[in-house]
């Protein structure tokens, strides 16, 4: 539409008419002369408004759902964090209880053997100084650790200290192929030498080829001159296999170590040796053998059999 003088006059006229109708409608109230026109407009435009509303409502609902979804996601994230924290706490408590048990068992062993020990934690595992089975502990020369000291835990012999730094030390494990320790057999006191075999049982050469050894027998350390590298009486393991005697000067037996070398955590370095050889007193008592129950069957003769009457056939 062109902006002319006539168009401007028409616009002013329409605005004046609109104001006049608004004034009449307000003053007349419910009896307004334009009420009929309003109802007619409602009848015409009402369905259109409903259609527009029905089209707009899903969009509004979707916006609300997105808003609520964000709140739900935030709540889920909070719950997930709480669950993770709870699991970490439970895991930490389980680890703490496990380490307390390990420390308690180690102190019992040290007390039985009268060993003065320095507690340490295994902080690394791997080859070092040419050895293939080693661990690193968080105690060193500042803690009184010296080379060739015995290392044990609550189960028994772990190994010996190979190298020492100010704050850490390297321990060669008893299952290392280059590891050898003197052994004493429980009760009989027969001597031998145990050699590491990696993840297999220790190989023990008994000095007496006719020594009486059986599976289940246990061994402890024999000890070294000056208690280095090994103090006496530390549990080593249990015999699982005995090679047949062939009349040789020595005899080979195979020993399963008490220590689980793949799960080491808390260990103790013997810094003060025992005053006397504890021999096999550090070994825990063997569990009592439960007797095998026997079943007694009592046969009661029938009156007919006791009177000497002939037995009847089963089909009579």
Q: What is the mean pLDDT of the chain?
A: 79
Q: Which of 144, 140, 143 is nearest to 167 (CA)?
A: 140
Q: Distance between CA 283 and CA 113 in Å, rounded?
A: 9
The neighbouring-strand residues paired with 136 are 124, 170
Q: Distance between CA 87 and CA 266 in Å, rounded?
A: 23
Q: Looking at the domain assignment, is residue 196 inside a domain? A: yes
Q: Looking at the domain assignment, is residue 282 inside a domain? A: no
The residue segments making up the domain with residue 174 are: 108-272
Q: Looking at the domain assignment, is residue 93 inside a domain? A: no
Q: What count of residues does the chain have?
A: 316
Backbone angles phi, psi at 239, to 5 degrees: -65, 130
Residue 73 has pLDDT above 70, yes or no: no
Q: Which of 6-10, 94-98, 142-146 is predicted with the least confidence, judged by mean pLDDT? A: 6-10
Query: Tell me, what CATH number does 259's domain have?
Result: 2.40.10.340
Q: Distance between CA 69 and CA 43 in Å, rounded?
A: 39
Q: Looking at the domain assignment, is residue 145 inside a domain? A: yes
Q: Looking at the domain assignment, is residue 199 inside a domain? A: yes
In this prediction the pTM is: 0.64
Backbone angles phi, psi at 251, to 5 degrees: -140, 140
Domains identified in the chain, total number = 1
Q: Looking at the domain assignment, is residue 141 inside a domain? A: yes
Q: From the centroid of its chain, how far is CA 138?
A: 22
Q: Looking at the domain assignment, is residue 263 inside a domain? A: yes
Q: Distance between CA 112 and CA 284 in Å, rounded?
A: 10
Q: Distance between CA 287 and CA 263 in Å, rounded?
A: 25
Residue 214 has pLDDT above 90, yes or no: yes
């Amino acid at each position: 539409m062109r902006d002319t003088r006539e168009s401007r006059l028409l616009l002013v006229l329409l605005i004046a008419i609109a104001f006049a109708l608004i004034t009449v409608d307000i003053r007349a109230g419910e009896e307004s002369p334009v009420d009929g026109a309003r109802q007619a407009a409602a009848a015409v435009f009402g369905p259109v408004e409903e259609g527009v509303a029905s089209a707009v409502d899903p969009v509004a609902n979707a916006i609300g759902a997105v808003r609520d979804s964000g709140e739900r996601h935030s709540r889920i994230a909070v719950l997930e964090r709480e669950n993770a924290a709870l699991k970490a706490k439970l895991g930490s408590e389980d680890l703490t209880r496990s380490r307390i048990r390990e420390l308690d068992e180690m102190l019992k062993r040290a007390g039985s053997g009268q060993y003065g020990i320095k507690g340490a934690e295994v902080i690394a595992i791997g080859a070092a100084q040419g050895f293939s089975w080693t661990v690193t502990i968080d105690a060193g020369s500042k803690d009184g650790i010296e080379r060739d000291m015995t290392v044990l835990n609550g189960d028994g012999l772990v190994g010996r200290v190979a190298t020492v730094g100010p704050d850490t030390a390297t321990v060669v494990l008893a299952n290392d192929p280059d590891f050898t320790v003197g052994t004493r057999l429980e009760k009989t006191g027969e001597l031998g030498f145990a050699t590491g075999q990696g993840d297999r049982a220790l190989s023990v050469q008994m000095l007496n080829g006719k020594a009486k050894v059986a599976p289940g027998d246990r061994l402890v350390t024999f000890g070294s001159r000056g208690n280095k590298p090994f103090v006496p009486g530390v549990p080593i393991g249990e015999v699982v296999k005995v090679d047949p005697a062939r009349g040789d000067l020595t005899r080979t037996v195979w020993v399963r170590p008490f220590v689980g070398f793949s799960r080491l955590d808390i260990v103790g370095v013997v810094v003060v040796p025992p005053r006397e050889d504890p021999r096999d007193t550090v070994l825990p008592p063997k569990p009592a053998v439960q007797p095998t129950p026997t079943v007694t069957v009592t046969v009661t003769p029938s009156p007919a059999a006791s009177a000497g009457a002939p037995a009847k056939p089963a089909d009579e």
